[in-house]
Structure 1
């Protein structure tokens, strides 16, 4: 549906004389030198494979172990799914372009890529907030945890997150579809980034930029405020625990999520700070790689290395898989 919708439109080249139509963008990527293409292909293919297998193993381990069928691991499995989808919207096209020695991406393909990238980026944001609330209830209201975080509420929180992510992404794409684009249709990135596309437009983008700032600010303020509030209450509750063992167990329970939150938001803010503080496309791309590729790749390792339940479930899953062959 989306490619068909986007393919009915073209990029209008607003130049002197007659107007012509251009049906594609060009993703400049990291380097135009041929000797750099093979190392880049190997690097990103390796990162993509590690991300796929890491997140897939987390999902399979949680699904195969009945002891992990709890709200915390339900949200974690959703986070792994979203991270897997996030890298799958950008890296395969980049790798394909390197193989065929092309930088082109069609107008329909670019808007489709941007649409799904925004969905999964928003979902990451929402899920991290929901997981912070889950940890807040578990630490601050342990006796009421099962009653509060019931399956209906967990499903509803994930459903609302998906609905909001779809809506936000659709709004941005519909706004972009009404823009005309100038002679320069080269995107200084390895994927179709919304902010870079807006910079290429010859049309008035004030409304688009307002929508970007509004949604980014709303998501950032609401999510970060909710996470900070949750962890403030969590820290206060942990300090009241009398035993050192109890404090350590509570800290371990929240430590993995806190690491993922710190990694995600520090890299996202790094992208915006880099984009506003410098005109270097290289620095902007490196910052984009950090949150669009590196963070989804590291998340499974952060949770598996710091979580005994996940490690045990992974061992059981791998041993069962090996014995069945």
Structure 2
């Protein structure tokens, strides 16, 4: 009976991961496609949304296929180099999304608070440079991890208790006891996570105050609708990540299975939900998707 239950849980997990992965791939590729095909969407905010879709594609592809292969093939062995690569890519993509959400918040801040300066202040070229700088900055912030990982030795065990490769876990199971290996992680979290979140919250707070001063009900509603859309995406990204750090730090005991589930849902579900949110809450993207799938046939009238 217990074996049957375990097989059932495993089957459900495989189906859930496969559904999340393929939904995420389809949704994000669709968003990227409509932004590329529609010239009207070649604007700063849509470049940001398209970049977010690329990040979500990478996020899902880094984690879920490997998890599915482990579950399907019953092989939990991961080569050391592959483990380090997965860990570094995941941390980089995570940091990139945090910085990108900050750029998107700044874009909305300028659009609402300084609307007359928006076209000159926010251009496609500046957006591209901002994304490139964020990418380089993310690499620089995480580069020390590759150096520190190379210094670790595993004399007791090389088995990680979680379903993914995590830097802090690798440090804990290693025989190396140098404090610098763990002290660097909080600093990186503050620079790439906490500081961007503070900037995002300040930006949207200022936007909200500006919206309250608008007399037009339509204009006020449009601003708040845009803010809600972006804050949903921000919440989906930051809330699960915050729980990963806050709960253990607060002394809450989390089982290995619970932590694995939290990690999977916290990283895979946002990648699936982001394109759905933008597809239904952004009118231009919704119209572009509708046009892509429902093309009206051209009729030739004869006299």
Shared fold by TM > 0.5?
yes
CA deviations on 1:254-292 (whole Å, 9 max, x unpaired) are 221111111211111011123333242222222212321
The partner residue of 1:70 within 43, 47, 51 is 43
The partner residue of 2:259 within 267, 270, 284 is 284
Higher strand share: 1
Which sections of structure 2, spanning at least 5 residues, go unmatched? 299-303
Greater Cα shift, 184-193 or 172-181: 184-193
Is structure 2 residue 200 aligned with structure 1 residue 241?
A: no
Greater Cα shift, 188-197 or 104-113: 188-197
Is structure 2 residue 72 aligned with structure 1 residue 117?
A: no
The partner residue of 1:304 within 270, 279, 283 is 279
Higher helix share: 2
Q: Work out the CA distance in 2 between the residues paired with 1:322 and 1:178.
A: 64
CA deviations on 1:139-187 (whole Å, 9 max, x unpaired) are 1111110100012211111011110122223321221111012433222
**Structure 1 residue 61 displacement after superposition:** 1.1
**Structure 1 residue 44 displacement after superposition:** 0.5
User: In the alignment, what sits opposite 1:29?
Assistant: none
**Structure 1 residue 241 displacement after superposition:** 0.7
Alignment of 1:163-182 (within 5 A): 163-182=136-155
Is structure 2 residue 59 aligned with structure 1 residue 86?
A: yes
Q: Work out the CA distance in 2 between the residues paired with 1:322 and 1:98.
A: 46
Q: Work out the CA distance in 2 between the residues paired with 1:33 and 1:105.
A: 23
SS in 2 for 1:232: helix
Alignment of 1:1-325 (within 5 A): 33-276=6-249, 277-319=252-294
Aligned residues: 292
Q: Work out the CA distance in 2 between the residues paired with 1:79 and 1:321.
A: 30
Q: Work out the CA distance in 1 between the residues paired with 2:144 and 2:285.
A: 38
SS in 2 for 1:40: helix
SS in 2 for 1:294: helix
Change in CA separation of 1:176 and 1:81 when aligned onto 2, cut-off 3 Å: same
Greater Cα shift, 128-137 or 258-267: 258-267
Greater Cα shift, 135-144 or 164-173: 164-173
Asked whether the 8 Å contact 1:182–1:200 carries over to 2, the reply is no
Which sections of structure 1, spanning at least 5 residues, go unmatched? 1-31
Q: Work out the CA distance in 1 between the residues paired with 2:296 and 2:181.
A: 50
Asked whether the 8 Å contact 1:116–1:169 carries over to 2, the reply is no
User: In the alignment, what sits opposite 1:21?
Assistant: none
Asked whether the 8 Å contact 2:44–2:124 carries over to 1, the reply is yes
Q: Work out the CA distance in 1 between the residues paired with 2:161 and 2:109.
A: 41
